[in-house]
């Protein structure tokens, strides 16, 4: 698994987590259905490229060759997404989102509380496991999303992403001098955790927000 593959997997994970509330988890590769859909998505992209040099309309009409294969890949993706949509609808009807309701309670969302939490976050997570760190960032994302003042949300978001953005900028800075660094497994592991943190924050912020890494200063922005 290289850095390009990690970024593609992270993009898919973020899209599905924010859009469907489903953890695609292609970064870890533990979900077989997710892996099949990701492979179908990746292979579909490759098959589409053939349309620039191939008689693809004829093949599509006859359902042969690359167009027949593309049709099968799209079917896999469609079935997977439609199943997610159906499951999500059932979940919204039958389950209360307990964690979100608790975190959005006005009693715990006062400005001093969130500000203090962000100040102590780096020391709070230092001894936590990666999955616990990601959960912490997601919960704080919910809190920030509930803030009514846009300027406050922007400030909180910058503070929340300060640590992972610093790590990101350091890695990119070192990589400018030595591209082989991006092949190091320890570095890939750090990048993987940064991407998962980014996905967790995006989940907490909701569909109206997304966190991005700026290439120059590593800051995050609302889009």
pLDDT digits (tens, 9 = 90+) for 154-174: 888 889 999 999 989 998 888
Among 100-109, 144-153, 202-211, name the one with the lowest average pLDDT. Answer: 100-109
The DSSP 8-state label assigned to residue 97 in this structure reads -
- Whose structure tokens read 């960032």? 137
In this structure, the number of other CB atoms found within 10 A of the CB of residue 135 comes to 16
Indicate if the pLDDT at residue 90 is higher than 70. Answer: yes
How far from chain centre, in Å, is Cα 190? 15
CB 84 within 8 A of CB 99: no
Taking alpha carbons only, the member of 216, 174, 167, 213 closest to residue 14 is 213
CB 209 within 8 A of CB 140: no
Taking alpha carbons only, the member of 192, 211, 215 closest to residue 8 is 192
SS3 215: coil
What is the pLDDT averaged over residues 21-40?
Answer: 76
Among 15-19, 61-65, 167-171, 175-179, name the one with the lowest average pLDDT. Answer: 15-19
CB 79 within 8 A of CB 63: no
DSSP, residue by residue, 28-73: TT--HHHHHHHHHHHHHHHHHHGGGTS-HHHHHHHT-HHHHHHHHH
CB 174 within 8 A of CB 181: yes
Instruction: Give the number of C-alpha atoms closer than 13 A to the C-alpha of residue 4, restricted to the C-beta side.
Output: 2
Give the model's pLDDT for residue 112.
Answer: 56
Give the model's pLDDT for residue 72.
Answer: 92
| Alpha helices (H) along 50-184 | 56-62, 65-94, 98-103, 111-124, 130-146, 150-160, 162-177
Indicate if the pLDDT at residue 221 is higher than 70. Answer: no
Question: Could you tell me what percent of the chain has a pLDDT over 90?
Answer: 3
Give the model's pLDDT for residue 209.
Answer: 55
Read off the pLDDT of residues 67-82 as tens digits, 9 standing for 90 and up.
Answer: 899 999 999 988 888 8
pLDDT-derived band at 186, boundaries 50, 70, 90: confident
Among 101-105, 136-140, 143-147, 202-206, name the one with the lowest average pLDDT. Answer: 101-105
pLDDT-derived band at 55, boundaries 50, 70, 90: confident
Q: What is the mean pLDDT of the chain?
A: 77
Give the model's pLDDT for residue 33.
Answer: 78
Give the model's pLDDT for residue 21.
Answer: 67
Highest mean pLDDT: which range of 103-107, 165-169, 199-203: 165-169
């Amino acid at each position: 698994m290289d850095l390009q593959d990690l970024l593609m997997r992270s993009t898919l994970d973020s899209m599905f987590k924010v859009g469907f509330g489903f953890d695609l988890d292609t970064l870890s590769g533990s979900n077989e259905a997710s892996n099949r859909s990701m492979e179908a998505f990746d292979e579909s992209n490759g098959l589409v490229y053939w349309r620039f040099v191939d008689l693809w309309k004829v093949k599509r009409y006859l359902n042969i060759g690359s167009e027949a294969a593309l049709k099968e890949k799209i079917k896999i993706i469609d079935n997977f997404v439609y199943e997610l949509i159906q499951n999500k609808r059932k979940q919204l009807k039958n389950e209360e989102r307990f964690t979100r309701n608790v975190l959005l309670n006005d009693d715990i969302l006062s400005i001093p509380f969130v500000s203090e939490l962000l100040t102590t976050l780096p020391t709070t997570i230092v001894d936590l496991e990666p999955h616990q760190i990601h959960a912490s960032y997601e919960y704080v994302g919910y809190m920030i999303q509930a803030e009514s003042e846009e300027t406050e949300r922007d400030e909180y978001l910058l503070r929340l992403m300060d640590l992972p953005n610093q790590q990101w900028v350091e890695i990119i800075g070192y990589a400018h001098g030595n591209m082989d660094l991006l092949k190091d497994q320890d570095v890939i592991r750090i990048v993987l955790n940064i991407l998962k943190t980014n996905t967790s924050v995006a989940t907490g912020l909701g569909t109206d927000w997304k966190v991005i890494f700026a290439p120059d200063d590593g800051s995050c922005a609302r889009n």
